[in-house]
Structure formats: structure tokens, C-alpha cells
Amino acid sequence: MNASTITIGGDLTIHRLGFGTMRLTGPGMFGPPPDLDAARATLRTARDLGIDFIDTANAYGPIVAELLVRETLHPYAGITVSTKGGMLRPGPNQWAVDGRPGSLRAAAEASLKVLGVERIDLWHLHRIDPNVPADEQFAAVAELQRAGLIRHAGLSEVSIEQIEAARKHFPVATVQNAYHVIERRSDPVIDYCEREGIAFIAYFPLATGALAAADSILAPFAARLGITPAQAAIAWLLARSPTLVAIPGTSRVEHLRENVGAAELRLSADDLAAIEKVGRKAAMLRAPKP
């Protein structure tokens, strides 16, 4: 794989094209995947293709994705595994936030055991719990670092103001927000992260598959270049900022190979501007009318 690299927290260097594991679970991101062998094969192929950053969470499944990562990739030679805590899963497509300090500690300790590591290289607060004072949650994350349970800490789905509040308690190494060529609400966050030396991890980079579909808004453009819509979307993301890490997920090896192929592309400034124009037009069309 030919993706450029980024260094997280000053000492953890990864390629900027990683792999997200949410899709390696059952319907509604709950329970085991329909085809366990295919899920394992996808993880093995990610490793074989040179992907060295795997993003997971204890809420995916729950636990299912972490278990598959351990079963397939442990002892993670040359691979950084990032996980998250602070979300509960009552059932399929159901998510609940739990940012109580004791719960965050328990989540990190459980991930340590499931992943089979003595320290988690990168751990994210999956969401800030609106029912728990934010400073208490940030202090709990800082304590995880002091206790040696986690190496670097990050945040997920946050604003600049929330990042700055967290930085009073611990060094924010990464921010993980939904972002793609249409979903642009985190543009100011990306610019902030670039200025501050914080890695920005874009999840849902293919809009949960919509940008990769045959009828994707990028399909006509991609056809002219002889690439796939998914490759166009990912190539644009990797060009968006040197601080951005894209983590497209899939349960199929052929889609994984397609995604990795995007790291080899070097689109022209005109091509990137064309993708930008298509994305912004689509964003305007789906924006709520006043």
C-alpha cells in the first residue's frame, strides 16, 4: 500500500488509510457477522495489503469486532489497534451513552482483556455523555493514561470547543468524526486538528456505502477516470488534509482491495476540485430548507 503516513501523539506512526471494523458484525451492528470466514479473511487481507491501523470499539457487536480482531491479527506485529469505550448496546441498531468514570474504566479494562494486550495504543471516548459532567469524563480518560491502561487518547464526534475542554485534562491525540465529500460539518474541526497536530480519523468515509454504489453521485466522474466511485471518494479524502486518516470498512475482500487501490491514486487539482463540487452540490440538496 502506498498511502502516506501520520504520527499520532508524537510516537505512533501509521498509514493514513486504515480499516474500520463496524461492518464485521451482524445486522444492526449486533451479534456475529453472517459469514465469519469472510470477516476473518477480510481482516487477514487488510494485514497482507499493508494496512497497519485497525479501528474497532467494544460497542461493535458488542465485543464481536474486538474478538475477531484478536482472533485474526493477534499479536498485532506492526499493526496499531484503536478501540473505543463509553457506548452500550441494548439491541440491534440501539446505542446508549455511558460516560460514568467507573464505566469508562471498566470498558477499557474489558478491551484490554478481549484484545489481549497490556496497554491499548489508542483509546477513544466513543461519545461524551450529556448526563455526566464532561470534566468528569475527561478526568477519567486522563486517569486511564496515568494508570498505564492506554497509551494515547482520543475523542469521537466532538466540536472544537469540546476538544479544547478535553485538552485541559489530557493530550488529545486523535479526533474521530463522521466525514466524507458530502458530510462536511467537521471541516472546521479538521482545520483545527491540522493546526494543532492532532490526527483526524474520518469514519463513514463512504457514507455507509452510498458513495461506493453503482448509482453514487461520483459514478460519472469516476467512470471518466477509469476508477470506482469508492476510490474517488477515498482519494479525495486523503488529499483533503495531511492530518486525515480514512477508515473505510467492509466485510468483503474485493471491496477492501478496491479501497486500498485508492491510496495509489494521485488525482490532479482539477479532479479533486470536481469531486469537491459534486459533494458540495449534494450537501446543499440534502440540507434542510429554512
Show which residues are catalytic. Answer: 60
Instruction: Work out the burial of residue 225: count CB atoms within 10 Å of its CB; fewer than 13 is exposed, 13-18 middle, 19 or more buried.
Output: middle
Measuring CA to CA, which residue among 41, 149, 138, 68 is closest to residue 99?
138
Please state whether 174 falls in left (phi above 0), alpha (psi between -120 and 50) or beta.
Answer: beta
Q: What is the DSSP string of 256-274?
A: HHHHHHGGG----HHHHHH
Please say whether the beta carbons of 89 and 135 come within 8 A: no
Secondary structure (3-state) at 104: helix
63 DSSP assignment:
T
- Alpha-carbon gap, residue 100 to 35, rounded angstroms: 35
Q: What is the DSSP string of 109-154?
A: HHHHHHHT-SSEEEEEE-S--TTS-HHHHHHHHHHHHHTTSEEEEE
Place of cell 484478536: 70
Q: What is the DSSP string of 213-245?
A: STT-TTHHHHHHHTS-HHHHHHHHHHHH-TTEE
Secondary structure (3-state) at 37: helix
- Alpha-carbon gap, residue 263 to 265, rounded angstroms: 6
